[in-house]
Chains A and B, each alone.
Chain A
């Protein structure tokens, strides 16, 4: 965001390679995060994120920008891809611990395990939210976007985004508390 989307979009429609590259570089991280917190697997998230941009190339002509930013459209594409992914895989979005290369000198098992546990908890907690709440939480707390920015991406006003955010946090807190209680020895 923050770049001149209008001209970039026009250039992309003209088939200019540079425009596509710029859109990709700017939007890929956000799309990756979006996908990762729904899929729970980095490799899958990378593949799906790349697939989002291929779809963008294929369906460029169908997109009518209007007031919506390109990223919002890319989120929509990503949403449908994730749905398809879950249908095909028919599996829960559980984060699995990857096998690590023990020969890697930078490998720090404790730190990575701690990191993955927190990610695992967060992904599990996000499953209790609906699609809009999940998206707002990721945009707000992972991507650190302002409410105004989130409202623009999701096509909602700022007040609605705040309300969604509050409800999402309460739900998350309850779900995390319940999860902690289930782990405490009785």
Chain B
């Protein structure tokens, strides 16, 4: 149908709708168009004739009132309360719908990526919990432990966690060795014994070979970091041993690292003070010269001059020794007293620096130099060693004997080896094991798990008798 015909039909339709008859509207229209138009007209009539529904007047009024009521509710004119149209620059509150992925595809992608990373890392950490050295997930476990240490608040809690990890490390090494696998891992703990070919670090005996790299002069009682190669045959060979914290070293606050390191060194030193004989011994020789000075007892806990107390302390503190002291010269009992005190407070700080140098000098030159009192000392230096080994029946007495051992030690072996020699290898033949049981009696006071409490108890034990007399 061409446009002219369409227009003719439209005109005809309009005329039909306006009420004209069909015949009057059909002028100038072809037969085919006429048929079509008649059909349309019939329908138009039908539509036009259809009564148009009208709303009731009540409904119209009610609708108007509803509109006006709504208008009153919105008392403010539209201009005053503009819509959140973008053109107005008005910003509405945040809605999660704003984060429509269509608008922010990057946000969606980043969220998905973050979720994947978090889920997978969490899964990996979980799966690595039981991994052993040499396994694929073991580094994840170590990294996670490092993160936990970093995030742990409080040096005490951190130290507890660290010691827990140390135990786990050693258990892992044992498991790997028992499974006859090979792996390499590193752990840290106290060097407890030193043999010619095996060292005991923590709870493990590690082979020391000529090719083992020793960083620092590791002594019994030192905290060391040791890299262990577990062999398929179950042997554990040290690759490197590095001293982390010296056994006898006292850390002034200036020297100590902040936070955990201070606490760590303190606790380590406290442990050593109880366990290792290396600490008890150095205090004794120091006590020997001091008694001559007769300084007030108050300083005995805080400085090396403490040993001045012994005369007054001896009778009360070391009740068992007091019974023995009569046979032994006063110095023997005198040395024993300071030992107990020095091990707790003074010793950690003192022994580190003082131990190597003073002991030889004290034993050799000082005692002779001190003319007055020394009379007893010379006798001690010779006699106590044998008597000490014999008398030690009580747990306490071995300590005084230890004070004497330095003097024979230099003469017996070598003066330079004083650091290693102290107790284990010293006078007691070549076997180190008998030497170690000697210190074990000393931990008797209480459990090493609470070194600070032990220290306090000993201090109280030491102070109260000094006050009472």
What is the interface size of chain B, counting residues whose CB is below 8 A from a CB of the partner?
Answer: 37
Counting chain A CB atoms within 10 Å of each CB, which of B62, B67, B70, B74 scores highest? B67
Within 7-51 of B, Cβ neighbours of A (below 8 Å) are at 10, 17, 39-40, 43-44, 46-51
Q: Does B81 touch A at the CB level, under 8 Å?
A: yes
Assess whether A15 is in contact with B52, with CB atoms less than 8 Å apart: no
> Which of these, B44, B53, B78, B85, contacts A15 with CB under 8 Å?
B78
Assess whether A119 is in contact with B71, with CB atoms less than 8 Å apart: no
> Which of these, A14, A17, A58, contacts B68 with CB under 8 Å?
A17
Q: Does B180 touch A at the CB level, under 8 Å?
A: no
Assess whether B48 is in contact with A141, with CB atoms less than 8 Å apart: yes
In the bound complex, how far is the Cα of B50 from the Cα of A98, in angstroms?
18
Assess whether A13 is in contact with B48, with CB atoms less than 8 Å apart: no
Assess whether B64 is in contact with A122, with CB atoms less than 8 Å apart: no
Within 164-201 of B, Cβ neighbours of A (below 8 Å) are at none
Q: A13-B78, A60-B78, A62-B83 are in contact. Are A50 and B53 (CB under 8 A)?
A: no
Complex: chain B residue closest to A122, CB-CB: B50
Distance in Å: Cβ of B47 to nearest Cβ of chain A: 4
Residues in A with CB closer than 8 Å to B210 are none
Residues in B with CB closer than 8 Å to A56 are 67
Q: Does B467 touch A at the CB level, under 8 Å?
A: no
Which bracket fits the contact residues of A? 35 or more
Assess whether A54 is in contact with B70, with CB atoms less than 8 Å apart: yes
Residues in A with CB closer than 8 Å to B76 are 15
Assess whether B53 is in contact with A36, with CB atoms less than 8 Å apart: yes
Q: Does A142 touch B at the CB level, under 8 Å?
A: yes
Assess whether B43 is in contact with A29, with CB atoms less than 8 Å apart: no
In the bound complex, how far is the Cα of B50 from the Cα of A142, in angstroms?
8
Assess whether A54 is in contact with B67, with CB atoms less than 8 Å apart: yes
Residues in B with CB closer than 8 Å to A50 are 59, 62-63, 66-67
Distance in Å: Cβ of A107 to nearest Cβ of chain B: 15
Within 142-173 of B, Cβ neighbours of A (below 8 Å) are at none
Assess whether A137 is in contact with B47, with CB atoms less than 8 Å apart: yes
Q: Does A70 touch B at the CB level, under 8 Å?
A: no
Residues in A with CB closer than 8 Å to B39 are 173
Within 195-233 of B, Cβ neighbours of A (below 8 Å) are at none
Q: A13-B79, A15-B78 are in contact. Are A147 and B10 (CB under 8 A)?
A: yes
> Which of these, A33, A47, A141, A162, contacts B10 with CB under 8 Å?
A162
Assess whether A173 is in contact with B51, with CB atoms less than 8 Å apart: no
Q: Does A128 touch B at the CB level, under 8 Å?
A: no
Residues in B with CB closer than 8 Å to A42 are 53, 55-56
Assess whether B55 is in contact with A49, with CB atoms less than 8 Å apart: yes
Residues in A with CB closer than 8 Å to B55 are 28-29, 32, 42, 45-46, 49
Assess whether B56 is in contact with A46, with CB atoms less than 8 Å apart: yes
Assess whether A122 is in contact with B77, with CB atoms less than 8 Å apart: no
Distance in Å: Cβ of B71 to nearest Cβ of chain A: 5
What 7 A-B pairs come out closest when comparing CB atoms? A50-B63, A15-B77, A141-B47, A46-B59, A61-B83, A53-B67, A61-B78
Show the binding face of B for A, using Cβ within 8 Å. Answer: 6, 10, 17, 39-40, 43-44, 46-56, 59-60, 62-64, 66-68, 70-71, 74, 76-79, 81-83, 85
